[in-house]
Structure 1
Amino acid sequence: MEDIATRLCAALFSEFRRYDQRIRARQYVDGLLRANGRKSIANIASAVGAPHDAQRLRHFVTGSRWECTPLRRTLTRSLETTGGPSAWVLKPVSIPKTGEHSVGVGRHFSPDARQLVNGQQAYGMWFASARLTAPVSWRLRLTGRWNDDGAADTGPRDSVAGLLGDIRDWGDPRRPALLDLSGIPEQRSLAAGHLGARFPLAVRVGGHLEVTAGRPAPGGHGRRPAPLRRILEASPRLRDTRPATGPGRPATAFATALVRLADEGPDRGPLTALGVWHDPLRPPAEVWLSNARTVSPPALLGLTRLSEQVGRGWRTLGGSVGLRDFEGRSLQGWHRHMTLASCAYAISALTSTGAAGQSPYGGGAEVCELSA
């Protein structure tokens, strides 16, 4: 880990003009990797053997003058040297908080808990390949009194658009982006707004979303609006030929159909709908819409599995490097903490997979293309 941390931190922290900032950044990342329990500033400073530096580290994160964007851009490009992503994965996450004084805290629906919780609602963009996942950029949803403070981060639409803009600016825009919107109330407007753009996307939505068949569909749905899962249930199902992904987990069945979002005109090209079943007697466990034209159904199914991989990483490694541990009222401080915690995440992921400096694909991953 030390060699990987040294190489990655050297690349990232060259963005700092001042030597003391490079020292504090390395202390912070090392502390995130070493500290046990919650990654408070005091624990981070103690973990690197410098408890007297706690106040300096606090000032570095919340008060010093430096921007997150250059570090996030360099992190993205450094991860791409491991062979490039199969996809970019945008994941909404809920960060529970017991108090009310951390930036962005409020009541919101948590997609993971499937209930209202008190805490922060954030959106992360992840580099995702078959061997390596790591977050590279973040947005925080601000509502109510937090939004009144004039902070830049706001709701889902701006957050999703901002993260997709980051990828267009920093990463390989030919790789598709996966957006998990299944637990977000605004999913229909978000899906309609982004699937119409010239950017390869696959969006996970709820099965109740109303669509019309792109061509006359089995089951007599024709051109009438119908819940997406109904159209997929009437389509022929195929079996995933790969082995089950875990003990006791059945092989996956999937179906595809060409559809359009309800109320959209024929000038918008059809979308590929993908339904995924783990239990053939129940409704599809996942429903996706994609504007990628040349990706085969099995390849699209394989890409959507990266969303599961990101979710597991968020729940496990994300906790161990402190992605859920920032406490403070500063939005700028939150972004800086999340940037440095993303660096720590990448170091840990690179160490555990042995992916640093190696291409997990050899010849490269399949590139999706958009419909004209």
Structure 2
Amino acid sequence: MDVREVERLGGDLADFTVDVFGSLTRVGWQDRAGQYVRGLMVDGRRKSIQPMAGRLPGVHDQALNHFVTNSPWDVVPVRRRLAVRMDEAIGPAAWALDDTGWLKCGTASPGVARQYTGTAGKVTNCQIGVSLNLVTDAASCPVDWRLFLPESWDPASPAAAADVDVRRARSQIPDEVGHREKWRLGLDMIDEVIGWGLTPPVIVTDAGYGDSGEFRHGLTERGLSYVVQIATTIGVQQQEAARTAPPAAWTGRRPALRYRSPATSVKDLVLSHGAAAARSVSWRDGSRTRASRPVKMRSRFVFLRVRPAGRTLLAAHRDQDLPEAWLIAEWPPERDEPTKYWLSNLPATTPKRTLIRWAKLRWRIEHDYRELKTGLGLDHYEGRTWQGWHHHVTLVSAAHAFCTLQRLDPKAPAPA
């Protein structure tokens, strides 16, 4: 949007700022928050503080920088209000968990290290942020964030860098914050947002989280439903697999029942059923049209009931049968083998179309990341403090939420 478009939305933005940033009670803080959000929405090649301030009349970059980098305002009540408001506005069909990268050149930014990021598709020097997004087919919004700290940034880790204490002090990382796996950060955020009074319909993730048996078990322990993408190598027992005693005779204590056959990879199991097991399923309207009507998104899928295996699940169900789950494989008609796999703990009675709709719904978070970066400057922040990073991503989330609310309002001019 250009400056005039943003100014035309000034009344709505002022009301939004008072609502979402109501916890910022010090004089001038809400004004600064509104200025920053406006700066993020105004068109411009860079959305770092100095260029943004230069585009907005009467805004001083030093004051804006102090607000984002040094002012001690708490992001939690802001995110809580944002989550509650967006939950009411969009009625999320799922909560999506994922991460994205900030490509960096130096070593001073908190959490920066050589690590893999899907942003670059390779191992490179970057920061990784993990987000929890409320999603539907038509709208979505990030409502919580964590900055991932690699082990090199954790003084308690054997892999800590030699200058870790200096780097942490310079970045103002709290002493209690250390390395924590991304899937644990995801569970932390889910717990936090549930603590704000919201209830997830279902959790959707890519294989970066779905491959973790600990993560899936953590969701099940919390009573949460999930549809998560997984790698082809994840092992499962077939639905009819049963635990048995060893065939040899024994004396003394009766041996424990266990699965005698090794787990099968999901790829091998689906291939053993063949392409004939796939069925055509449509799940939503696509962007293409035919005879002025939207064409349904459609593909072919294999649906199997299985028992996910792995050390975590075997240990958690030591004297029990492994729980059943859905194994879903997308097998397009033009391909020789499936292209994607998912696991879900939803009931066996769940309609197939519902399963696929949730499996495919994770695409919204990719849409969010593109918009957050290309339109709202998510990865343009140049500060080097822990607090500044969290302030920035919270303000960007607020800008994204405001744009989403404007799109959902039929009376409002659509943000560019």
Pairwise TM-score range, normalised by the shorter structure:
0.7 to 0.9
CA distance in 2, matches of 1:356, 1:132: 17
Rate the CA distance shift 1:162–1:242 in 2: closer, same or farther, 3 A.
closer
Aligned to 1:245: 286
User: Contact 2:211–2:231 (CA<8 Å) still a contact in 1?
Assistant: no
1:98-145 CA-to-partner distances (Å, cap 9, x unmatched) read 222222111111235432121111111001012211111101111244
1:288 aligns with 2:345: no
TM superposition shift of 1:256? 1.7
43, 47, 53: which one pairs with 1:39? 47
Identity of matched residues, %: 25
With over 3 angstroms needed to count, the CA separation of the structure-2 counterparts of 1:287 and 1:339, relative to structure 1, is same
Alignment CA distance shift 1:88-1:16 (3 Å): same
| 1:193 Cα deviation from its structure 2 partner | 3.8
Cα distance in 2 between the residues matched to 1:332 and 1:321 = 19
The equivalent position to 2:89 in structure 1, one of 72, 82, 93, is 82
Q: Distance in 1 between matches of 2:300 and 2:193?
A: 31
Amino acid at match of 2:304: A
CA RMSD of aligned residues (A): 2.9
Tell me the residue number matched to 2:387.
Answer: 332
Q: Does structure 1 retain, via aligned residues, the 8 Å contact 2:278–2:301?
A: yes
Q: Deviations 1:225-260 (Å, cap 9, x if unpaired)?
A: 111123234272121235773569983111222222
3-state DSSP of counterpart to 1:339? helix
SS at match of 2:361: helix
Q: Runs of 4 or more off by more than 6 Å in structure 1?
A: none
1:305 and 2:371 are equivalent in the alignment: no
Q: Does 1:110 align with 2:117?
A: yes
Matched, 1:198 2:245: no
How far 1:268 sits from its partner (Å)? 4.2
Q: How far apart are the structure 2 equivalents of 1:131 and 1:356?
A: 18
Match of 2:103 in 1: 96
CA contact (8 A) 1:107 1:116 kept: yes
- Report if the CA contact (8 A) 2:210-2:230 is conserved: no
1:315 maps to a residue whose letter is R
How far did 1:89 drift? 0.4
**In structure 2, do the counterparts of structure 1 residues 142 and 151 end up closer, same or farther at CA, with 3 Å as the change threshold?**
farther
CA distance in 1, matches of 2:119, 2:279: 28
CA spacing shift, 1:273–1:196, aligned 2, 3 Å: farther
Choose 322-331 or 63-72, whichever is displaced more: 322-331
Q: Secondary structure at the match of 2:74?
A: coil
Structure 2 counterpart of 1:227, one-letter code: S
Q: How far did residue 338 of structure 1 move?
A: 0.3
The answer on whether the counterparts of 2:278 and 2:331 sit within 8 Å (CA) in structure 1 is no
Equivalent residue, structure 2, for 1:231: 269
Structure 2 CA distance for partners of 1:132 and 1:205, relative to 1, 3 Å: same
Please show how residues 170-189 of structure 1 align to structure 2 within 5 Å.
170-180=196-206, 182-183=207-208, 187-189=212-214
Deviation at 1:7, TM superposition (A): 3.3
1:94 Cα deviation after fit: 1.9
Equivalent residue runs for 1:4-23 within 5 Å? 4-23=12-31
- The count of corresponding residues between Structure 1 and Structure 2 is 351
Go from structure 1 to structure 2 and tell me whether the alpha carbon gap of 1:250 and 1:126 turns closer, same or farther (over 3 Å shift): closer
Q: C-alpha distance in 2, partners of 1:153/1:167? A: 21
Which residue of structure 2 aligns with residue 162 of structure 1? 188
What is the aligned partner in structure 2 of residue 257 from structure 1?
Answer: 304
Letter in 2 for 1:305: K
* Alpha carbons 2:98, 2:132 under 8 Å: kept: yes
Contact 2:94 2:136 in 1 (8 A): yes
Q: Which residue of structure 1 lines up, in the alignment, with residue 404 of structure 2?
A: 349
Shift of 1:5: 2.6
* Structure of higher CA gyration radius: 2
- Shift of the 55–67 alpha-carbon distance from structure 1 to 2, 3 Å rule, reads same
Q: Closer, same or farther in 2 for the Cα pair 1:7/1:289, shift >3 Å? A: farther
1:164 is matched by which residue type in structure 2? I
Measured after TM superposition, the shift of residue 319 of structure 1 is 2.6
2:26 is the counterpart of 1:30: no
What SS does structure 1 have at the residue aligned with 2:65? helix
Q: Secondary structure at the match of 1:39?
A: coil
Alpha-carbon shift at residue 46 of structure 1 (Å): 1.6
In 1, distance between residues paired with 2:200 and 2:129? 25
Whether the 8 Å contact between 2:187 and 2:215 is mirrored in structure 1 is no
Distance 2:72 2:82 in 1: 19
Work out the CA distance in 2 between the residues paired with 1:231 and 1:355: 49
Mark the runs of 5 or more structure 2 residues left unpaired by the alignment.
1-5, 156-167, 169-174, 242-259, 289-294
Question: Judging changes above 3 Å, is the alpha-carbon distance between structure 1 residues 208 and 4 closer, same or farther for their aligned structure 2 residues?
Answer: farther
Q: CA deviation at 1:174?
A: 4.5
SS of the aligned residue for 2:128 comes to strand
Letter aligned with residue 399 of structure 2 = A
Kindly provide the CA deviation profile for residues 329-353 of structure 1, in whole angstroms up to 9, marking residues without a partner as x.
2111111100000001111222234
Structure-2-length-normalised TM-score: 0.76
CA 1:253–1:82 in 2, change beyond 3 Å: closer, same or farther?
same
| Offset of residue 57 of structure 1 | 1.2
Asked if structure 2 preserves the Cα contact closer than 8 Å seen for 1:244 and 1:252, the reply is no
Tell me how far apart the structure 1 counterparts of residues 263 and 61 of structure 2 sit (CA, whole Å).
Answer: 59
Change (3 A) 1:4 1:310: farther
2:226–2:344: 8 Å Cα contact kept in structure 1?
yes
> 2:330 matched to which residue of 1?
276
Letter in 2 for 1:239: S
